[in-house]
């Protein structure tokens, strides 16, 4: 039974704790079965407790841990399972678990940096929408009767605002339903592999965002492949496993092609150099050097660090660029609303003074 299909979410932090604690317990000489029992008692997640319970049953019946984990591939993934499998085969399970913890930690840190970079822009956007909504749907409707009582030509900005408010007051529910339908439709379409492929390909074409996506994928490619090669997995198998872990589906297809290229007896660097739009020349050339010197895993580890640093810098720049743009957008939007309210009031008061 694949528990992942029923309980389809285990956080990275839970996996990190699992690998770290299991590594420590095995290193200290505790039997695997006893270690799993202890981890089950320590876990606060009922979902993870059920998963570990299944692992305990399988291990107690004589199965390898990797075999049991493979039954729940939707949760743990090929990379996780293969690192465990290699550790069991080579007698270095504790070391491989610790190594797996470090790799999970790097992935977790990357996600955390992405979220941190987008937090402030998101707060500014929410604040803008909130302030504008209060002015439009709370303050403005209270003032509209005053405007209606005076038979004067209102400024164009005020008329646009009145039309907008009236539209949302009468048809807002239709807009809301339309947005919900649109979100569900997009979500459904993106589950279709062909549509998802085209969307991911389009992302790579967007200025700045596309380059950031390339660097994120190069970091994942280099780090995962280096880890698998160091663990003793053959390069063809390692590439196929790495392909399944890539964030962008375009790169999943490309790495499958790289794997087939190597299977036919050609080098990985030849394919990468011929596909410069997906693989930067610096990346491909370092792979070529690694293949020719026999230090491919070391060069991949260096590339992972290099492109990881590039990603960090790009996310910092993204946050720096978005902040003033969003503040400018907030100022223009709120300023337009306020001006549309104040201008006719000022005009009316001036007319009253003249009278």
pLDDT in tens, 161-196: 888 888 888 888 898 899 999 999 988 988 888 898
Mean local confidence (pLDDT), 85-114: 80
The confidence band for 127, taking pLDDT boundaries of 50, 70 and 90, is: confident
Note the CATH architecture for domain 3-91.
Answer: Up-down Bundle (1.20)
Distance, in Å, from the CA atom of 11 to the CA atom of 18, rounded to the nearest integer, reads 11
CATH topology for 210-312 is Receptor-associated Protein (1.20.81)
Does 322 have pLDDT greater than 90? no
Q: What is the CB-side half-sphere exposure of residue 38 using CA atoms within 13 A?
A: 14
Sequence-distant (6+) residues with CB within 8 A of 267 are: 261, 288, 291
Average predicted confidence (pLDDT) for the chain: 83
What's the confidence (pLDDT) of residue 150?
Answer: 65
The confidence band for 7, taking pLDDT boundaries of 50, 70 and 90, is: very low
- Concatenate the DSSP letters of all residues of 306-355 into one string: HHHHHHHHHHHHHHHHHHHHHHHHHHHHHHHHHHHHHHHHHHHHHHHHH-
Task: Tell me the domain boundaries of the chain.
Answer: 3-91, 210-312
What's the confidence (pLDDT) of residue 198?
Answer: 92
Distance, in Å, from the CA atom of 201 to the CA atom of 210, rounded to the nearest integer, reads 9
pLDDT in tens, 228-247: 888 778 889 889 888 887 88
């Amino acid at each position: 039974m694949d528990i992942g299909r029923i309980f389809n979410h285990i956080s990275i932090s839970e996996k990190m704790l699992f690998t770290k604690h299991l590594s420590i317990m095995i290193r200290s000489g505790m039997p695997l079965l006893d270690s799993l029992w202890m981890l089950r008692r320590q876990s606060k997640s009922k979902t993870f407790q059920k998963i570990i319970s299944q692992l305990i049953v399988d291990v107690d019946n004589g199965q390898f841990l990797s075999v049991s984990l493979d039954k729940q591939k939707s949760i743990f993934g090929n990379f996780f399972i293969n690192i465990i499998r290699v550790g069991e085969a080579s007698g270095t399970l504790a070391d491989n678990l610790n190594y797996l913890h470090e790799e999970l930690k790097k992935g977790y840190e990357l996600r955390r940096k992405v979220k941190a970079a987008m937090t402030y822009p998101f707060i500014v956007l929410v604040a803008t929408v909130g302030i504008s909504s209060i002015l439009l749907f709370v303050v403005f409707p209270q003032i509209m009767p005053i405007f209606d009582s005076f038979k004067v030509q209102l400024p164009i900005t005020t008329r646009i605002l009145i039309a907008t408010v009236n539209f949302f007051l009468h048809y807002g529910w239709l807009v809301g339903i339309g947005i919900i339908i649109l979100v569900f439709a997009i979500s459904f379409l993106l589950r279709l592999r062909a549509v998802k492929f085209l969307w991911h390909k389009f992302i790579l074409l967007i200025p700045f965002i596309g380059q950031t996506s390339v660097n994120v994928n190069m970091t994942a490619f280099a780090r995962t492949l280096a880890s698998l090669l160091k663990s003793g997995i053959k390069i063809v198998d390692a590439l196929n496993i790495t392909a399944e872990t890539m964030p962008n589906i375009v790169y999943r297809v490309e790495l499958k092609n790289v794997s087939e290229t190597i299977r036919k007896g050609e080098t990985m660097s030849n394919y990468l150099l011929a596909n410069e739009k997906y693989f930067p020349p610096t990346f491909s050339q370092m792979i070529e050097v690694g293949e020719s010197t026999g230090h491919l895993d070391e060069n991949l580890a260096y590339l992972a660090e290099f492109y990881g640093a590039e990603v960090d810098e790009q996310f910092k720049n993204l946050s720096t660029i978005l902040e003033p743009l969003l503040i400018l957008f907030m100022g223009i939007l709120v300023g337009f609303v306020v001006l549309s309210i104040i201008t006719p009031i000022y005009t009316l008061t001036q007319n009253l003074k003249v009278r």
